[in-house]
Structure formats: structure tokens, C-alpha cells
Amino acid sequence: RRVLFRSQLHDRMPVILSDPADISLWLSAAPWNKEIQSLLRPFGGKLDCYAVPKEVGKVQNDSSDFIKVRYFQ
């Protein structure tokens, strides 16, 4: 199995929150502020990456096949 870095897959990183207070703040209707901005930090844990079909990139496509685990060749 080939090891890929996130930067090889995509130039953006999702916000990953586990603390309920952080989740509430992120989902709140509060205007953007330094407290919300402080949630934007690199994730320190391990992330698993899986291949997805090219059809995932088209918003009109909707299939349960998109959530099936596929391994990199």
C-alpha cells in the first residue's frame, strides 16, 4: 500500500472537532471571531485515507457506493 500525505490529495483540510463545546461554537450563528478562528488548527491524530471513485467530484451524483471503503492500489 502506498503512503500518501494529505497535501498530495487535496490542498484543504477539514475542521475536525471532538470537544462538544467546540462543536457548538463552530455550528453557532455567532459572527466570525478570534474564538472561532482558534478552532482552525492542525489535527494531531491519525487519519485514514481511502480512494474514492471520480464520480464523487460531481455534486449531482448520489450513491451509497461512495462510502464503501476502497484501498489505494
Degrees, nearest 5: CA angle 4-10-12: 125
Cα-to-chain-centroid distance, residue 68:
16
Assess contact for 51 and 68: CB atoms under 8 A: no
**How far is Cα 5 from Cα 33, in angstroms, rounded to an integer?**
30
pTM beyond cutoff 0.85: no
- pLDDT tens for the chain, residues 1 to 73: 455 555 555 667 778 898 999 999 999 999 999 999 999 988 777 777 777 778 888 889 988 877 777 665 5
| pLDDT for the residue numbered 14 | 77
| pLDDT for the residue numbered 10 | 61
